Every structure is written in structure tokens, then in C-alpha cells.
């Protein structure tokens, strides 16, 4: 497995819809997910979508371990999702700060559904079907947006709340990119 380079905003691949995975048991899917895990770990990300490493397939990974340095960032289960579907539960939204490995150094205040249901397949083809809220729901929505060619800056309602992390959060409490 390997740490891969991250595509950054401006790359047309990040604005394209990714394709469904047709064979979950394909050996190269395991290689892809291994590379995604290595890349996310090396960059201390909260999540990563396959298009971010240049692979236009509907695969995302995410997960945040409890980190004593960032006690305000809640834990998110380590998850691999192939062909995910996300649907809102209710219409309640909340705004929260996001960063993205494909938009390095920046943060924006992004509205997301507060509660969602998400489904997808794990690497063995098993169904994952969960409800999530808050930060967990936010990470899932951010990652799945990547599969539809959506980067978080396009969702920011007020661009005054979009800027350089080091300026917005001089004390470095902004959390992780995804």
C-alpha cells in the first residue's frame, strides 16, 4: 500500500461524478482502499474519497479516533463505504467548520443536515446501514459530496466565513481535514 498524492481544487476530476463500483470483491478495490487508508493516516485526515487520489469510483473512508488534543472533536467510527447513499433525516441543518485535504490551508463554515441515514457496502460486500448526527453526519456528507463532484466551498453561504485556517484559528483548534 502507498501514500498517494492528493488532487487539489482546480483539478477537473474533483468536479466530476464518480462511477459506481460494480465488483466489490475485485482485488484492485482492496488495493485502492489500502492506499486510501495510508494516505488519510499520513495526512491526519478525518476522511477521504477515492476521487481525491485520482480514482473516479464511489468509495469513501472516514473515521476520527478520540484525540485528547482535540477534545471538542467527537469520535467517528472507522468506516469504509462503497457505493454510499446518504439521505437526510428531517430538514434540520446546522453550520460547522470544515476543511478538506483537496483545499489545503483553508476552512469554511458549511451548512449540513444535522441527522442523516447512510448506507453502503464494506470491503466484504456487507451492508452498512446507520444513522448519524452532528459531526459524524457532517463527515459523511462531506465525503459523499466528493463522489458527486462537490467541494465544500460551493456550499458556503457567506464567504466571509471562508478563509485561511491559520488566520481563522490562530490557536490551532480547527480539527481535521476530510
- Binding of residue 106 to Ni ion (CB under 5 A): no
Residues near 100 by beta carbon (within 8 Å), at least 6 away in sequence: 9, 106, 142, 151, 152, 177, 178
Shortest distance in whole angstroms from residue 101 CB to Ni ion: 6
Select the residue interacting with Ni ion from 86, 110, 144, 178 (CB under 5 A): 178
- Binding of residue 14 to Ni ion (CB under 5 A): no
Give 19's DSSP letter: B
Nearer to Ni ion, 82 or 100 (CB): 100
Nearer to Ni ion, 109 or 178 (CB): 178
Give 157's DSSP letter: S
Asked if 114 and 137 touch (Cβ cutoff 8 Å), the reply is: yes
Dihedral pair phi/psi, residue 93, rounded to 5°: -120, 160
Out of 133, 143, 165, 176, the active site residue is 143
Q: Is 143 a catalytic residue?
A: yes
- Binding of residue 100 to Ni ion (CB under 5 A): yes
Shortest distance in whole angstroms from residue 125 CB to Ni ion: 26
Q: What angle do CA 105, 108, 111 make, to 5 degrees?
A: 150
Sites for Ni ion among residues 114-173 (CB under 5 A) = none
Shortest distance in whole angstroms from residue 23 CB to Ni ion: 26
Shortest distance in whole angstroms from residue 104 CB to Ni ion: 10
Give the total of residues touching Ni ion (CB under 5 A).
2
Q: What angle do CA 100, 118, 1 make, to 5 degrees?
A: 55
Give 57's DSSP letter: B
The residues of the shown chain that bind Ni ion, judged by CB under 5 A, are: 100, 178
- Active centre residues (catalytic): 143
Amino acid at each position: 500500500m502507498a501514500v498517494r498524492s492528493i488532487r487539489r481544487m482546480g483539478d477537473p476530476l474533483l468536479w466530476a461524478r464518480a462511477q459506481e463500483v460494480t465488483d466489490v470483491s475485485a482485488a484492485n478495490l482492496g488495493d485502492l482502499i489500502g492506499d486510501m487508508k495510508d494516505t488519510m493516516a499520513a495526512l491526519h485526515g478525518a476522511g477521504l474519497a477515492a476521487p481525491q487520489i485520482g480514482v473516479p469510483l464511489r468509495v469513501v473512508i472516514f473515521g476520527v479516533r478520540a484525540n485528547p488534543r482535540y477534545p471538542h472533536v467527537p469520535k467517528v467510527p472507522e468506516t469504509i463505504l462503497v457505493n454510499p447513499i446518504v439521505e437526510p433525516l428531517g430538514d434540520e441543518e446546522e453550520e460547522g467548520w470544515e476543511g478538506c485535504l483537496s483545499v489545503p490551508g483553508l476552512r469554511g463554515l458549511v451548512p449540513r443536515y444535522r441527522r442523516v441515514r447512510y448506507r453502503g457496502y464494506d470491503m466484504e460486500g456487507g451492508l452498512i446501514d446507520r444513522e448519524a448526527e452532528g459531526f459524524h453526519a457532517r463527515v459523511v456528507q462531506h465525503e459523499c459530496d466528493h463522489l458527486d463532484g462537490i467541494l465544500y466551498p460551493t456550499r458556503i453561504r457567506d464567504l466571509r466565513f471562508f478563509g485561511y485556517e491559520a488566520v481563522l484559528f490562530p490557536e490551532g483548534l480547527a480539527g481535521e481535514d476530510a
